[in-house]
Amino acid sequence: MISGLFKKKLLLHSGRFAAYATSNSFKTAIEASEKLVSPRAAAATKSKFQDPFSIVSHEMSNLAKSIASLIGSGHPTLNRVSSYYFEAEGKNVRPLIVLLLSKALSNIPLSERQRIPIDEYDVTEQEHIKGTPKFGQASIAGNSVDDSLSPLRILHGINPRIILDPLSKPMDQLPQMDKMNGILPKQRRLAEIVEMIHTASLLHDDVIDLSDSRRGRPSGNIAFTNKMAVLAGDFLLGRASVAIARLRNPEVIELLSTTIANLVEGEFMQLKNTVLSNKEENEIINNDGDSKKVPKPTGKVPTKQHEYSVSNDSDLVDHETNVQAAFEYYLHKTYLKTASLMSKSCRAAAVLSGAQDNIIENCYQFGRNLGLCFQIVDDMLDYTSSDTIFGKPSQADLKLGLATAPILFAWKQDPALGELIARKFKQKGDVEIARNAVEKYRGLEQTKQMATKYCMAALENLRQLPESDARSALELLTNSVLTRTK
């Protein structure tokens, strides 16, 4: 369990939460830290410390407040919808990973972190100067993550004194903590941006998937409306984009901007059938109980068939080829929807640290392998967890027509399941047949083995970093992803 002193420290920090950062957020932080220091996890990595979460406790406990300063607008209802998911008990895995990795990277000697000038200025103690800095330049006075590139009167379109700039408020004592902790101001801002992008995707996903719950309470589309949820997600992405630009590093801007596009690409892959579709079926869109035919292209813009599309005709393509294509499609979609944000944010943290290319690549691969593991476990839990434990509707993938790893492993053994997959389990009894097949052919066990493979690969990537408490905390977190129940 967590020491009394650690709890007192977290309680002290929690007093500075934003108004909407409720006690639930703090409770989540406590629960996360308790999981990280469980005896089983500690034994797995032979760690000598007891409170790995405490390594970044100050940054994590102020996460909601920091994000509040980034997403504020002049419209109270928009503020309410945009901050809705930050109030509830979220896993906050992505910012936690970025912060712990940033701390682990700080243990690399400065002589080995000279790829770019390291930005470690205390952003709250500098006098503001006018002028637009050059991209990639190390921070100077007036060139921090909190300073605008354009005049505020242009950004707001009104007198900036009427609505305070929500992107220029320094955070209480965080930079001083950064200096002691080895976490750079831009890396801390990166963690906040990543959580904003992720939360925007949740708002959109819940509208697309017709979800009715998220994090143990009504989803955004139910609590407000579909339109408000979509607009709030768009607003979060807009605010995140501004914060991305203020990192003033072209490479990081490119990485994070690409993750936003990847999320959309992955969602489109999920909307389409996995594989096993003939040409006519590929031209039909089925969503929300409505079927529409895709308009034919005019030829002005080049379009092409997705590379993973194969035929359901056994006379044209053999079963093994179809299964292999389905798994490739599934993993590609999983990367785009989940692993892209993890992997590219880890890479961005390494770039900002000034680390060399081999370290940057291992950080990227760590995030990629961890992200794939995370989503594969999520797909497995969809079959096994209750709604209460999962925090969102469980056993929903089959009902949505999604063919994830468990059913794909079953299909590998039973080719007849291909027909169910091709029609997205929409006939009566298809879902029950699929669930029984997953159990019969040990689909969940094989899915667990797949997730374990990616977990072990992520741990191997971490071992390329110097030994430190932060690295051990990441190892604990990586193992906990594999064993989580929600």
- Quote the pTM value: 0.80
User: Residue 163: is its pLDDT beyond 70?
Assistant: no
What pLDDT, on the 0 to 100 scale, is given for residue 68? 86
The SS3 assignment for 285 reads strand
Report the alpha-carbon distance of residue 98 to residue 319 in Å, rounded.
Answer: 41
User: Residue 53: is its pLDDT beyond 90?
Assistant: no
Supply the DSSP symbol for 218. E
Report the alpha-carbon distance of residue 439 to residue 258 in Å, rounded.
Answer: 38
User: Residue 21: is its pLDDT beyond 80?
Assistant: no
Report the alpha-carbon distance of residue 256 to residue 262 in Å, rounded.
Answer: 10
Report the alpha-carbon distance of residue 146 to residue 400 in Å, rounded.
Answer: 42
The arithmetic mean of pLDDT across residues 111-129, rounded, is 62
User: Residue 225: is its pLDDT beyond 90?
Assistant: yes
In the block, tokens 């680390």 appear at 355
**Mean pLDDT of all residues belonging to the chain:** 78
Q: Do 87 and 65 meet the contact criterion of CB atoms below 8 Å apart?
A: no
**Complete domains list, the chain, with CATH:** 4-279+316-483 (1.10.600.10)
The listed range with the strongest mean pLDDT (19-23, 57-61, 280-284, 388-392) is: 57-61
The arithmetic mean of pLDDT across residues 373-391, rounded, is 81
At CA 207, angle to CA 204 and CA 213, rounded to 5?
105
What pLDDT, on the 0 to 100 scale, is given for residue 16? 35
User: Residue 134: is its pLDDT beyond 50?
Assistant: no
pLDDT band at 346 (very low <50, low <70, confident <90, very high): very high
